[in-house]
Amino acid sequence: MLTNKQVGFIGGGAMAEALIRGILEARLVTPSQLTVSDVSKERLDYLRSTFMVSTTHDSQEIAKQSDILFLTVKPQVISSVIESIAPVVAKSTVVVSVAAGITIAAFQGKMPGVPIIRVMPNTPVAVGAGMSAMALGKYVTTTVSEPVAQIFGAVGKVVTVTEDTMDAVTGLSGSGPAYAFVLIDALTDAGVRVGFSRQTAVLLAAQTLMGAAKMVLETGEHPAKLRDMVTSPGGTAITGVHVLEQNGVRAALIDAVVAATNRSREMGRR
């Protein structure tokens, strides 16, 4: 599906690196199909030597030659990037933005007729286990969106959502790794408290959460059913779950997602 397509990245940071690594490992493209621009010479040297991709400081050059153009820059500089590339982006080019809080309309106003896809990935794309949500602009067809979904699928899971839910995506999966890291850290401290070394405790905690998540995804069972499989009558697991419920862990997680979603909405109104 990506045969003979030129893929460009404006911004060569961690997100761009994760996507480049993923699509090359999945053999969706060859290095000759990839070009990256960045303001940092050191960063471009690293990407060129690591992945054998082409690099340039000229974002307009990439915008002109790309069939799929990823804007992997910080939200605070996206406006200047749009102003720079808008005059040279062809209507056949698919523009993919991962800049949080920047709406499709903001792009469409400067690039009328250009297919725009807005994506909210999360940090585990760096290890091929990300969760990405795509919102499609009005000029995006299935033919246009499928190659982009394939690219994000190379670094994890991907879903298509409506743009009005992107703040909720930010609150749940975008911010979700932070919640998981808090849980792993707390479980690690608990492991140390009951006698393990910190190294052993973090392994026990992290692998347990990863395994539980994998069971949910691969079995398709409701998490509550899987929990019931672990909690035998009068046993250790139900005793622990009881303590979690007493201390409001479930409510705290719900509140965290709601608060992060509301914060995302506030940031988007600036």
pLDDT, tens digit (0-9, with 9 covering 90-100), for 237-268 = 999 999 999 999 999 999 999 999 999 888 77
- Whether 44 and 15 map to the same domain: the answer is yes
DSSP state of 67: S
Query: Does the structure show a pLDDT above 80 at 269?
Result: no
Domain membership flag for residue 222: yes
- Residue where one domain finishes, among candidates 117, 144, 166: 166
Residue 93 in contact with residue 69, Cβ under 8 Å? yes
Domain membership flag for residue 31: yes
- Whether 19 and 101 map to the same domain: the answer is yes
Domain membership flag for residue 226: yes
Domain membership flag for residue 1: no
CATH of the domain at 134: 3.40.50.720
- Whether 27 and 138 map to the same domain: the answer is yes
- Whether 208 and 255 map to the same domain: the answer is yes
How high is the pLDDT of residue 129? 95
Enumerate the β-bridge partners of residue 159: 133
Query: Does the structure show a pLDDT above 90 at 209?
Result: yes
| pLDDT tens-digit readout, 106-152 | 899 999 999 999 999 999 998 999 999 999 999 999 999 999 999 99
- Whether 153 and 232 map to the same domain: the answer is no
CATH of the domain at 255: 1.10.3730.10
- Whether 109 and 216 map to the same domain: the answer is no
How high is the pLDDT of residue 30? 94
The whole-angstrom separation of Cα 201 and Cα 218 is 26
Domain membership flag for residue 2: no
- Whether 14 and 68 map to the same domain: the answer is yes
| pLDDT tens-digit readout, 58-98 | 999 999 999 999 999 988 888 899 999 999 999 999 999 99
- Mean predicted lDDT score pLDDT of the chain: 94
Instruction: State how many domains the chain has.
Output: 2
- Whether 42 and 114 map to the same domain: the answer is yes
- Residue where one domain finishes, among candidates 166, 183, 201: 166
Instruction: Print the domain residue range for 79.
Output: 7-166
- Whether 158 and 185 map to the same domain: the answer is no
Task: Let me know the angle formed at the C-alpha of 238 by 237 and 243, rounded to the nearest 5 degrees.
Answer: 100
- Whether 69 and 158 map to the same domain: the answer is yes
Residue 134 in contact with residue 121, Cβ under 8 Å? no
Domain membership flag for residue 261: yes
- Using CA atoms, how far residue 252 sits from 179, 185, 240, 258, in Å, is 10, 16, 17, 10
Domain membership flag for residue 47: yes
Over residues 43-70, the mean pLDDT reads: 95
- Residue 119's Cβ-side half-sphere holds a number of Cα atoms within 13 Å equal to 31
How high is the pLDDT of residue 102? 86
Which among 11, 15, 12, 22 has a CA at the least distance from the CA of 151?
22
- Whether 97 and 205 map to the same domain: the answer is no
Strands 130-136 and 156-160: parallel
- Whether 154 and 264 map to the same domain: the answer is no
Domain membership flag for residue 195: yes
- Residue where one domain finishes, among candidates 107, 139, 166: 166
